[in-house]
Amino acid sequence: MGVLPVLSAILLASTTHAEFTFVRRTSLAPRSQDVALPAAEFTVPFTGKASVRKSKKGALAALRGGASNAVVVDGTDFDEEYITNVTVGGQHFALIVDTGSSDTWVPQIGFNCFDLDHNPVSPDTCAFGTPGFNIQASKTFKPFPNVSFNITYGDGEFLSGPVGFDTISVGGLSVTGQEFGVPTLAAWEGDTVNTGLIGLAFPELTSVYNTTDPTKASGANQLPYDPFFFTAVKEKKLKNSIFSVSLDRGTLEQQENDIFDANLGFLAFGGIVPVPVTDTSVTVPIEGYSATTGIPSSALGSTFFFYTVDVESFTFPGSNKLSTAQNNTILDTGTTLNFVPTDVAAAYNAAFKPPAVNDPDVGGFIVPCNATVPEFLVRIGGKEFSVDGRDQLLPIGTDANGVLTCITGTQDGGPAVADNIFILGDVFLHNVVATFNPIAEQVTLTQRQKY
């Protein structure tokens, strides 16, 4: 999940607090570097769920049209999330693991649920996996008075409410005094499994503000803080300041039928995840952003928000007619699909056989699920990473003629203007081990063996 809307506000405010600010202070990593990555100290399996969210049901209804004999294929991974078990103040929750945002939050028991249009709805509608965090039941919770949490994700979900500190543990890695949000207001399209999210991006992207009224949140009163991984590093809980993820694709059968699938990959702290890889590997610098222009910058003093990398090219049949380089592309475990510049998405989707068509009712390119998928290579740091064709077809239902229809894995992320952020989501990440070193401001990508 990218937290896209806040970026310009934060950049424009430039009232960042030196002790928290994560700016470029090291020189760039070589464009292409072999790094021997250590085995992980803490590893947890991912579980994924695949359920049909409300937002998708609209799309499915559109696809079905008026036909009465059409069946919906439930449980696709169109909006699959990767979740892991997290303990907060001794209470257990399944949280979405998100490299595209920085806050960790769990709704408070008794929260008010809203739809994305700000209308109050029943708490069940938010579809969290538990009733929420019970502040009174935690012996270690400390409130952070007079501040508030306020976040809006790129998909329109939003939350707000108080902030506190507590002990948070993931896979045996435990940090104390972790700042996190305990929202009392939630507009969330849940899956009945997750009860919140753990954000793994940079401190400057956090969403706590120096105001008791969350509607007064702005770049000027932002109080950036250390997200979970940064706290673990500061508390010296890790020998190596890295974390690593492998996200497995579910089988088509799982994607179609299962609400919840155990063991869909790994999240590792302090080392690399234990999955078979090839020798295609590269370490590249994370791009910061210029505070004056808001576009990726490698200048000293640039500010880090996301795991932004410089994509040198996307290669697919027909791509030679396009300039496909894009240096404002984030690696985001919390987004299912890839979002690339408009011309790239149009040309790639046209290369499916039959060509994928942009369906305004679905809000994306769709094809029959038996379509032939064109090759798709992403060049980063001089190495080509290939995306398996199975990741480019995500079943969303049967159309009025009974044809099993898929949304394609690589969609239109808007025009290729410098300040537009593009996303390599789970569709790309299924094919690599991604190892993040935000302290050294580097990411290592390693192509996985075919699975």
Minimum gap (Å) between residue 210 Cβ and ligand NAG: 4
Pick from 295, 350, 357, 440: which binds ligand NAG (CB under 6 A)?
295
297 is an interface residue for ligand NAG by CB under 6 A = yes
- Identify the CA nearest to 113 among candidates 104, 99, 128, 126: 126
* Residues of span 390-449 touching ligand NAG by CB under 6 A: 403, 418
218 is an interface residue for ligand NAG by CB under 6 A = yes
8 is an interface residue for ligand NAG by CB under 6 A = no
CA torsion angle for 157, 98, 331, 276 (degrees, to 10)? -140
Beta-strand relationship, 393-398 and 404-408: antiparallel
Pick from 287, 312, 412, 441: which binds ligand NAG (CB under 6 A)?
287
Pick from 99, 150, 324, 431: which binds ligand NAG (CB under 6 A)?
150
Cis peptide before 162 (omega within 30 of 0): no
Return the number of the residue (100 or 162) whose C-beta is nearest ligand NAG: 162
* Residues of span 62-91 touching ligand NAG by CB under 6 A: 85
Minimum gap (Å) between residue 344 Cβ and ligand NAG: 14
Return the number of the residue (32 or 370) whose C-beta is nearest ligand NAG: 370
Site size toward ligand NAG (CB under 6 A) is 26
Residue 261 appears among annotated catalytic residues: no
Residue 258 appears among annotated catalytic residues: no
* Residues of span 17-46 touching ligand NAG by CB under 6 A: 45
Minimum gap (Å) between residue 91 Cβ and ligand NAG: 11
Return the number of the residue (36 or 415) whose C-beta is nearest ligand NAG: 415
Given the structure tokens 């503000």, which residue do they identify? 209
Pick from 111, 158, 230, 289: which binds ligand NAG (CB under 6 A)?
158
Return the number of the residue (280 or 420) whose C-beta is nearest ligand NAG: 420
Stretch that binds ligand NAG, among 174-182, 213-221, 336-344, 381-389 (CB under 6 A): 213-221
Stretch that binds ligand NAG, among 143-151, 333-341, 389-397, 423-431 (CB under 6 A): 143-151
215 is an interface residue for ligand NAG by CB under 6 A = yes
300 is an interface residue for ligand NAG by CB under 6 A = no
Contact 394, 369 (CB under 8 A): no
* Residues of span 108-127 touching ligand NAG by CB under 6 A: none
Q: Give the Å distances, CA to CA, from 289 to 169, 327, 330, 380.
A: 31, 11, 12, 19
Q: Which amino acid is at 159?
A: L
Pick from 160, 336, 411, 444: which binds ligand NAG (CB under 6 A)?
160
Minimum gap (Å) between residue 36 Cβ and ligand NAG: 27
Minimum gap (Å) between residue 212 Cβ and ligand NAG: 7
Structure tokens given for 200: 């793994």
**Active-site residue (options: 77, 191, 332, 426):** 332
Q: What are phi and psi of 297, to 5 degrees?
A: -140, 140
Beta-strand relationship, 185-187 and 112-114: parallel
**Active-site residue (options: 98, 103, 248, 391):** 98
Minimum gap (Å) between residue 261 Cβ and ligand NAG: 11
Return the number of the residue (231 or 308) whose C-beta is nearest ligand NAG: 308
230 is an interface residue for ligand NAG by CB under 6 A = no
Computed over its alpha carbons, how large is the radius of gyration of the chain? 21
Minimum gap (Å) between residue 4 Cβ and ligand NAG: 14
Pick from 292, 370, 382, 414: which binds ligand NAG (CB under 6 A)?
370
92 is an interface residue for ligand NAG by CB under 6 A = yes
* Residues that bind ligand NAG in the complex, under the rule CB under 6 A: 45, 47, 85, 92, 145-146, 150, 158, 160, 185, 210, 214-215, 217-218, 223, 287, 295-298, 327, 368, 370, 403, 418
The residues annotated with a catalytic role in the active site are: 98, 332
